[in-house]
Structure 1
Amino acid sequence: MVQKTRGGALLALAAALLAAAGTAAAKPCGEPGRWYDPAAGERLTTAEALSRLRGSEFILLGERHDSAAHHRWQLYTLAALHGRGNLAAVGFEMLPRRTQKALDRWAAGKLGAEAFFEAVDWQRVWGFPRALYRPLLELVRMHRLPAAALNVDRATVRAVRRQGWAALDAEAREGVGRPAPLEPAQRERLEQAFQHHPRQDGLDTEGFIEAQRFWDRAMAEALEAARRRHGAPVAGIVGRGHAAGRGIPHQLADLGHAPADVAVLLPHDAAEACPGPGEADLVFLLEPGRESEGGEEPPRMGVAIAPAQDGPGVRIVEVLDGTPAARAGLRAEDRVLEAAGQALERPGQLQAIVERQAPGTWLPLLIERGGEQRREVVRFPPP
């Protein structure tokens, strides 16, 4: 059981990570391959760290979604927990609740990989390369572990963002209960995170915070349901901000769980300064530079995209400076109608096409700007 440090500073989702990256002169946290307890200031072996998790009902393994190093750490940690008989079920943020039947069939060995990813509509509901997550899913299948789809549909989150939880009936909010009010430090963290969020029409600070609270509540309730069904502990594969920001733990507390019931585990670059109390209960020290490793991540265009809503194609919300999209002259509010000759109806289609691009290749696009169609070519840099 991991003891909590009350009153510790919470992670500012974007600002703290940027600040940590700028502390090159700080004293390294410790030797790679070991664990660190921020509350006690102790460095631990894996056996010692895992022993402290005995009694925890929920173990949240925070990640940066596009980091291969983070997913390897999650895989090895799940395997270690299972080997010690300390893993009852695994929950995945990546999958909305409506995919639970397909996830059950996958975990039971009744659905092949291609059929599973098609059944859950992976590219649309999540979009990050499935190769990053497949080893985690294979571990669940290999050991026939119960698995839980923790998320809700993106459309549900958008509705909460625009209208608020109270304006939706139970069906419209997928049965998710009223989120617990935020503590001041949590609100400050989300306000800072909003400043780094890609701008979307109609997205303001309050809507962003409402959506994040709802997201945390939905996953907390799904984790609690998995615990009631399968026992404890339930491990959660979730984004770093939901775990380190105490979003999910805060909602679990509102559901009646004591702080000691929830353990937050994070990967951390061993060359950086140790995190302070409050960010995590235990951190695993990665080889320097590996925390940001993206593995064999496919090329990125450098755009934030959203459904077009009022017609075909997908809408570009933001174009990041210095990216292939920016060099091709793409602009915010452009509508991408075709990519590589394929008509587009939803963002996941464009993401899938981009993922298949090899370094050094060109991607022809048909876009609409100001009511006129034009052709552009995005050139991906060579390796």
Structure 2
Amino acid sequence: MRYSFALSCRLTLLACLSLMAAALPAQADICPAPGEWYQPGGERLDSTALFGELAERDVVLLGEQHDRMDHHRWQLHTLAGLHAQRPDMVIGLEMLPREAQPALDAWVAGELDEAEFLAASNWRSAWGFDPALYLPILHFARLHRVPLKAINVTPELRGRLAGEGWEAVPDAERFGISPPAEALPAYRERLAEVYAQHPGAGDEVGLERFVAAQLVWDRAMAAGLAEATAEGALAVGLIGQGHLQYEHGVPHQLDDLGLEAHATLLPWAVEEECVAPPAGLAHAVFALAATPAEALPPMQLGVYIVPHEDGIEVHGILDGSVAERAGLEEGDIILRAAGEALGRPADLTRLVQRQPPGTLLPLEVRRNGEEREILARFPPRTGE
């Protein structure tokens, strides 16, 4: 998400001067060079000075596109640099809800192997993205005994808070998370654009619920990071970049919690056509070379789905999608896929993404009280 918004400087004068001193002369119209740090707006940064300045923060936020391996490699290397400056580090993970904290503690302590950790944390259902993307970071934390902290909440709790309101959910059931600050106008505008792209996007009431759910998400992660700093540790959050850009999302909620000594770092892809990172995007960006050998994207069913007590419910279908061709309809309840019972949307996402091209995925569906089998036919890759 690249959109312009003026970023107000929330740093102390000393921190601002420190970053200015770290800037090296560069022409704003020169493409960022892979392997270099930049201040959005054009200035190249000296990495030693930058990391020295970051070490004085309470929170550092590392953005990502969840399915990009190069983003996770960059996160790992950045974590190593920060750890060299601040060994008293805690790594906050968007990927897991607070219920997974015992599994994270056991992993860092060396009590679980990979398979046991993935099962104990309920990783595949909670997150849905391939754990191989994150395992190098998890092993880094384990090797250095860096605490890992689950900073998310379950979709069920997010839905309750967004739908029923904060007063309807007891403090203990929401882990002491306080109500969020209102969305900044530019953030709300961006969320409205995202909502409009969802299949089955509804009226203003639906938009308000969508914005409320996003704010719950942001506030939960900000609160988790704030808790991680309680004993003076540097909290480093691994979070989707849409929650971080332009100081919206999580940074805005950190400010509201009184934790203003934070900095957002983002990866920036250097493409053939030069696009420099816009001013205010983040505290600093790291230029990554384009990766032409990216893995082929996983299969997609083309549905908008939400949890249902008996499985998952179809709320929208993309035109021309596998779901549309298979005959799925809005309101269908998908009970099983490939014989596996579905407890939450991530279960179906995982099965679909593992589906080989050119194959069939049997779906057991309830429609108007009657159960039927629908075969989702995934097309072969182009050229196969």
TM range, smaller chain: 0.7 to 0.9
| Residue in 2 that maps onto 1:262 | 262
- Seen in structure 2, the aligned counterparts of structure 1 residues 285 and 108 have a Cα distance that, compared at 3 Å, is same
Partner deviation per Cα, 1:170-191 (whole Å, 9 max, x = no partner): 1343311122233333333333
After superposing the two structures, state which structure 1 stretch, 296-305 or 115-124, moved more.
Answer: 296-305
Preserved CA contact (<8 Å) 2:52 2:85: no
Query: Aligned-pair distance for 1:93?
Result: 0.8
Q: Confirm or deny: 8 A CA contact 1:68 1:295 kept in the other structure.
A: no
Residue matched to 1:22: none
Higher relative contact order, chain-length normalized (CA < 8 Å, sep 6+): 1
Does 2:187 match 1:189? Answer: no
Map of 2:316 onto structure 1: 318
Separation of aligned partners in 2, 1:320 and 1:86: 47
State the 1:5 CA deviation: 4.7
Deviation at 1:382, TM superposition (A): 2.9
The change in CA–CA distance for 1:181 and 1:367 in structure 2 (over 3 A counts) is closer
Offset of 1:201 from its aligned partner? 8.1
Query: Deviation string for 1:185-218 (max 9, x for gaps)?
Result: 3333333332234547896122222222222222
1:315–1:335 contact (8 Å) kept in structure 2: yes
* Aligned amino acid, residue 188 of structure 1: E
Which residue pairs with 1:148 in the alignment? 149
Q: Equivalent residue for 2:139?
A: 138
Give unpaired runs (5+ residues) of structure 1: 9-25
How far off is 1:51 after superposition? 3.5
- CA gap of 1:359–1:5, structure 2 versus 1, over 3 A, is same
Aligned to 1:33, the other structure's residue is in SS state coil
AA at the equivalent of 1:74: Q
Aligned partner of 1:21 in structure 2 is none
Maintained 8 Å contact 1:107/1:147: yes
Q: Deviations over 1:214-265 (max 9, x none)?
A: 2222211111111113x3321100111211152211121122223xx11101
Distance, in Å, in 1 between the alignment partners of 2:256 and 2:71 is 29
Q: SS where residue 95 of structure 1 aligns?
A: strand
Q: Residue 273 in 1 paired to residue 275 in 2? A: yes
| Secondary structure class of the residue paired with 1:204 | helix
Residue 235 of structure 2 corresponds to residue 237 of structure 1: no
Do the aligned partners of 2:323 and 2:376 also contact (CA within 8 Å) in 1?
Answer: yes
Q: Whole-Å Cα distance in 1 between the matches of residues 327 and 287 of structure 2?
A: 41
Q: Is the 8 A contact 1:7 1:278 kept in 2?
A: no
Per-residue displacement from partner, 1:66-115 (whole Å, max 9, x unpaired)?
A: 22222222122112222344661110011111211111110111111111
CA contact (8 A) 2:163 2:209 kept: yes
Partner of 1:365 in structure 2? Answer: 363
Q: What letter matches 2:118 in structure 1?
A: F
What's the secondary structure of 1:263's corresponding residue? strand
Contact 1:61–1:74 (8 Å) recurs in 2: yes
Q: What is the identity, as a one-letter code, of the residue corresponding to 2:332? A: D
Structure 1 distance, partners of 2:278, 2:103, is 40
**1:199–1:68 distance in 2 versus 1, CA, 3 Å:** farther
- Partner Cα separation in structure 2 for residue 27 and residue 359 of structure 1: 43
1:105 match? 106
Query: How far apart, in 1, do the equivalents of 2:29 and 2:358 lie?
Result: 40
The answer to whether the Cα contact below 8 Å between 1:66 and 1:297 also exists between their aligned partners in 2 is: no
Task: Tell me which moved more, 136-145 or 78-87.
Answer: 78-87
The verdict on how the C-alpha distance between 1:102 and 1:294 changes in structure 2, with shifts beyond 3 A counting, is farther
User: Is the contact made by 1:303 and 1:319 (CA closer than 8 Å) also made in structure 2?
Assistant: yes
CA displacement at 1:148 relative to structure 2: 0.8
Alignment of 1:245-256 (within 5 A): 245=246, 246-256=248-258
Pick which of 188-197 and 231-240 moved more.
188-197
2: CA distance between counterparts of 1:130 and 1:62? 17
Structure 2 counterpart of 1:225, one-letter code: E
Using a 3 Å threshold, how does the CA distance of structure 1 residues 94 and 198 change in structure 2: closer, same or farther? farther
**2:258 partner amino acid:** G
Q: Once the 2 structures are TM-superposed, how far is the Cα of residue 42 of structure 1 from its aligned partner?
A: 0.7
Equivalents in 2 of 1:373, 1:163: separation in Å?
31
Q: 1:146 to 1:377 in 2, by over 3 A?
A: same
Number of residue pairs matched?
A: 355
Q: Deviations over 1:325-380 (max 9, x none)?
A: 33323233222233223343433432333243223322122223334433322222
- AA at the equivalent of 2:137: L
1:90–1:278 Cα change, 3 Å: same
Using the TM superposition, give the Cα deviation of residue 45 of structure 1 relative to its aligned residue in structure 2, in angstroms. 4.9
> In structure 1, what is the Cα distance between the partners aligned to 2:51 and 2:199?
37
Provide Cα deviations, 1:295-340, integer angstroms capped at 9, x if missing partner.
Answer: 465433222322223xx33222222334333332323322223322
C-alpha distance in structure 1 between counterparts of 2:219 and 2:123, whole Å: 22
- When normalised by structure 2's length, the TM-score is 0.83
Please report the TM-score for the alignment, with normalisation by the length of structure 1: 0.83
Aligned position for 1:14? none
Checking the alignment, whether the CA contact within 8 Å between 1:165 and 1:214 is kept in structure 2 is no
Answer yes or no: is the 8 Å Cα contact 1:338–1:365 preserved in 2: yes
RMSD of aligned alpha carbons: 2.8
Tell me which amino acid in the other structure corresponds to 1:275.
P
Task: Give the stretch that moved more between structures: 338-347 or 104-113.
Answer: 338-347
Q: Is contact 1:267–1:284 with CA below 8 Å preserved after alignment?
A: yes
Q: Do structure 1's residue 37 and structure 2's residue 39 form an aligned pair?
A: yes
Structure 2 gaps of 5+ residues are: 1-5, 11-27
